Chains A and B, each alone.
Chain A
């Protein structure tokens, strides 16, 4: 019975959670309980999925028993399963944090159901085996995140949300166009069937490359890839902290996931053009993102620009397209989600204790709250790629892969960007934690509930564990990358399970 629904559970659990939140619309207590319980159940379902995929190979579910040509297919390889677990981890941490952080004004307008609808969209995008359904899940995620972004309705939020939704809708329409053209070229939208059709003699290679570029623009916008990243720094600093943390951890990952999926499964015929272009874009994304971050003086803005910069590393592994490089990308994605969400959560605590997100108004946090300083230091150093944390090993794998592929310029760029990242983390450290509290600034609200501390601390512990047990994480990422570089295993899994 479980194997008929296991793949659908990461979609169904957030759906049922959102339903219970809607049914209990009048009771915030019930919504909070449902929200927290739902995200922990999602984490459990993700872990169970990862266990079964790791044990039995790629899993396929033909919804309602329809064959792939007509029906909806869910497919989970190791990469998908890892991403679902990641969604569960972040969902669980942030749902606990949001109970302690959000004010009732946000919760009453549906934070809890919306955040679960967004998780449903994200998990659906990770699990679907059909490019049109990928589009549908993108839209589910987009609409839910749009409302989450605007929740509260301050001027800055509406402005950020409008930029976000306009650019993303434009990207979606390109995506839809590309899907339509793919259907007319190959006669199917199932990813496995497309992979075969695009390699076959009936499809001109040029056509596939043109379509891949359309998808690159569409997914690149959603992943905040250069040059279409500007919606991200314009919007990430406006909503309440839990929403920012959720977005920073998961939203761009959906775009990166889609890029990795199509550029390993579908468009691998003209790699000299497509994947070198990806590498160039990766380098430019790293540099522009980090330079943007250096100019900022507000914690959340700095973190938002770093999100852009880090997307470059994930795409760098895809551009190199070796198993080692893709393992680096997968490892980096997992690491970055956890670390970046963690930094937003810590930033939120710093704002409560210090009274502001602006660096020049903060100060003296180290002497007043040494625990908070440690909590910031772990993810910050990991983000910059210092040992012994997870970020160091993720970057090490990517750089090793770059050296093996003899792509020295991208290795050089990525190392330079790491140093600048460290510089900008040092800036937050020096300004908010080290320097004395500015004259005339009253301390913040003081006491912070343990609901804020515990999720932030647990994510920091995970960063340390990712460094300590890096061999285990690396092995898993490498196995995921080997599945990605061997598209035939994906195709076989889908076709072999036809009902």
Chain B
């Protein structure tokens, strides 16, 4: 699509969409949101690029190939079940870790977040893989 308006808007929207997608992922920890929605939002950032220019340009800007994203996300999700084993608890039992940050800030990290981040990456990889493949289909 050759539209100056869309191209300009896309340039502004892309970082915004990526930022919002991460926000939605983290928000999903306790409130509506999560990896699935976040992943779709993240994929839409690159989809916008593919629509305004072409899929090749979107592919180049993606730091990892969609297949690798799929694999990495699955790896994160599956690996999030393993720390429980070190505690002698059943596979996938949630683990929490308190971490102290500078300026007396406290943050709680959990394996659930790693699982959800894995979902984020899988959804993003799968959505982009489907879209790129369809976009490059020779008719």
Chain A residues with a Cβ under 8 A of chain B: 1, 4-5, 8, 12, 15-16, 18-23, 25, 61-65, 499
CB distance from A493 to the nearest CB of B (A): 16
Contact A4 B90 (CB under 8 A): yes
Contact of B91 among A8, A16, A19 (CB under 8 A): A8
Residues from chain A with a CB closer than 8 A to the CB of B92 are 63-64
CB distance from A10 to the nearest CB of B (A): 12
Taking the complex as formed, is B10 at the interface, i.e. its CB lies under 8 A from any CB of chain A? no
Which 10 pairs, one residue from A and one from B, show the smallest C-beta to C-beta distance? Answer: A22-B71, A23-B71, A25-B67, A64-B92, A19-B74, A19-B75, A65-B93, A64-B93, A8-B91, A5-B91
Contact B89 A65 (CB under 8 A): yes
Contact A22 B70 (CB under 8 A): yes
Chain B residues with a Cβ under 8 A of chain A: 65, 67-68, 70-72, 74-75, 78, 81, 84-86, 88-94
Contact B93 A23 (CB under 8 A): no
Contact B74 A5 (CB under 8 A): no
Residues from chain A with a CB closer than 8 A to the CB of B74 are 15, 18-19, 22
Known: A4-B84, A4-B88. 15 other contacts (CB 8 A): A8-B91, A12-B81, A15-B74, A18-B71, A19-B78, A20-B71, A22-B70, A22-B74, A23-B68, A25-B67, A25-B68, A64-B91, A64-B94, A65-B93, A499-B90
Contact of B84 among A12, A64, A499 (CB under 8 A): A64
How distant is the Cα of A19 from the Cα of B121 in the complex, in angstroms? 13
Residues from chain B with a CB closer than 8 A to the CB of A4 are 84-85, 88-91
Q: Main SS of the interface on chain A? A: helix
CB distance from B109 to the nearest CB of A (A): 17
CB distance from B111 to the nearest CB of A (A): 10
- Specify which of B70, B81, B92 lies most central, judged by the most chain A CB atoms within 10 Å of its CB: B92
Enumerate 8 A-B pairs (CB-CB under 8 Å) in ascending A order. Answer: A1-B86, A4-B90, A12-B81, A19-B75, A22-B74, A64-B81, A65-B89, A499-B90
Contact A19 B71 (CB under 8 A): yes
Contact A22 B91 (CB under 8 A): no
Contact B71 A64 (CB under 8 A): no
Residues from chain B with a CB closer than 8 A to the CB of A1 are 85-86, 88
How distant is the Cα of A1 from the Cα of B81 in the complex, in angstroms? 13
Residues from chain A with a CB closer than 8 A to the CB of B68 are 22-23, 25
How distant is the Cα of A371 from the Cα of B15 in the complex, in angstroms? 65
- Specify which of A1, A4, A15, A61 lies most central, judged by the most chain B CB atoms within 10 Å of its CB: A4
CB distance from B42 to the nearest CB of A (A): 18
How distant is the Cα of A416 from the Cα of B72 in the complex, in angstroms? 54
Contact A16 B78 (CB under 8 A): yes
How distant is the Cα of A12 from the Cα of B71 in the complex, in angstroms? 14
Complex: chain B residue closest to A6, CB-CB: B91
CB distance from B80 to the nearest CB of A (A): 11
How distant is the Cα of A19 from the Cα of B79 in the complex, in angstroms? 11
How distant is the Cα of A16 from the Cα of B74 in the complex, in angstroms? 8
Residues from chain B with a CB closer than 8 A to the CB of A64 are 81, 84, 90-94
Residues from chain B with a CB closer than 8 A to the CB of A19 are 71, 74-75, 78
